[in-house]
Structure 1
Amino acid sequence: MAFTLPALPYAFDALEPFVDATTMQIHHGKHHQAYVTNLNNALDKFPELKDLGIVDINKKVGTDAIPKDIATVVRNNGGGHWNHSFFWKIMTAPTNSNGPSDELKAAVDASFGSMDVMKEKFNAAAAGRFGSGWAWLGVKADGSLGITSTPNQDNPLQGVADEALLPVLGLDVWEHAYYLKYQNRRPEYIAAFWNIVNWEQVSENFTAAKAGSPPAL
């Protein structure tokens, strides 16, 4: 079964003034669509892989389950499809979130000391990722929260990741995610991101991750 571009859960201008409508239109309709198209084209060569869901495809990146001649394409575009499908859902209009759940707040405090410290560490991971990539907050194997970053369209579900996590929050720091509005001011974009985090969705992701499941897309 072919993968398809998911609809955004809000209007293109819903994240204004922190993320502009033009960026959202291009990011969703051009960049994300390209990942979907390229992934489908690669899997056309190996129809037996088409029934795998996008989570399983990402988990098999870096293993022999993905044939070598499409391994790089699947890593980049399967990662890009999962990452963006996840990313759209963890953002919302600036006034549409009441903050993290008590359970998530407690986990953040236990792992980092406070929400402010967590944000500082997350911001540092996002700002410090050289070139294109992502920053992630997720649940580690021991149940605690951790922060990591990945290059390009890699994510912590993949076997190639430096640190395995079940993601609960992620930020795209590719230039196409912010350059029209912020130009080279990546730290300003990262700071603005916290104004549009959908904490209800992040809290749901945390509950699922604590139970050992990746977030539903």
Structure 2
Amino acid sequence: MNRNNFLKSILVGAFASKLDVSQAKSFILPADAFTLPELPYKYTDLEPNIDAMTMEIHHSRHHQGYVNNLNKAVSENSSAAGKSLESLVKNISKYNTAIRNNGGGHWNHSFFWKILSPKATTPSDKLQSMIVRDFGSLDKMQTEFNAAAGSRFGSGWAWVILQNGKLKICSTPNQDNPLMDIAEQKGTPVLGIDVWEHAYYLKYQNKRADYVKAFWNLVNWEQVEKNCKG
């Protein structure tokens, strides 16, 4: 076993062990329980930009962990019962830390999977015009976005949001997002990237910038445009 495979085996074991413990306590799920969304592509389809092992762990372990823990947190909080995920997120200040972290984790990842695509796409003329209007060019938007993703200390996300009809860039810590009523920069997310280490460490190790650069090869611009329309 070479060094990279040895490191991967340790990391996979650590991730699995940590998440299995959090999911160990089972309870009866209500009919309206949150569920893990299926991906519109296979774990292997985003290679070489994101490797299959990272995708499998990220989706089936990390995201599933957020879903499981959110359902548990909601079951223990009567004021959250029956609320939609979007309603929980938009009014997150009313709820406890468990709902904030896991509700944000579920919403953010559900959003993230949709804006990734193994098929190369480009912005439509309409979306390109919006980008030029608000950033000057697509290159300038990418540079600003990359800077936000790279400078987010620790775990978090970088976003392109629609705020008062204009595109802006911001970042959030942990599993927060711009929809939350506690966000410093509020708006509707149209594009986002997960910069938690679990999103890239198996392939890119500590080279977050390389992961962010590769991300642009996977952006589903058709979905980004749909997000702009609400």
TM-score (norm 2): 0.85
Structural RMSD (CA): 0.9
Give the secondary structure class of the aligned counterpart of 2:142.
helix
Q: Distance in 2 between matches of 1:188 and 1:27?
A: 18
Matched, 1:84 2:109: yes
- Structure 1 position 97, deviation (Å): 3.5
- Counterpart for residue 215 of structure 1: none
- Counterpart for residue 41 of structure 2: 10
Deviations 1:47-103 (A, max 9, x none): 4523211111100112x3x2xxxx10011000000000000000010xx23311222
Matched positions, count: 199
TM-score (norm 1): 0.90
Matched, 1:115 2:138: yes
Give the secondary structure class of the aligned counterpart of 1:168.
strand
Q: Distance in 1 between matches of 2:78 and 2:213?
A: 43
Deviations 1:115-170 (A, max 9, x none): 00000000000000000000000100x20100000000000000111100100000
Matched, 1:196 2:218: yes
Q: Distance in 2 between matches of 1:50 and 1:86?
A: 22
Give the secondary structure class of the aligned counterpart of 1:19.
coil
Output aligned runs, 1:1-217, within 5 Å.
1-62=32-93, 64=94, 66=95, 71-93=96-118, 96-140=119-163, 142-208=164-230
> Is there any run of 5+ residues in structure 2 with no aligned partner, and where?
1-31
Percent identical: 55
Query: Who wins on radius of gyration, i.e. which is larger?
Result: 2
- Structure 1 position 29, deviation (Å): 0.5
> Is there any run of 5+ residues in structure 1 with no aligned partner, and where?
209-217
Deviations 1:33-60 (A, max 9, x none): 0100110001111245232111111001
The letter for the 2-side match of 1:38 is N
- Structure 1 position 15, deviation (Å): 0.3
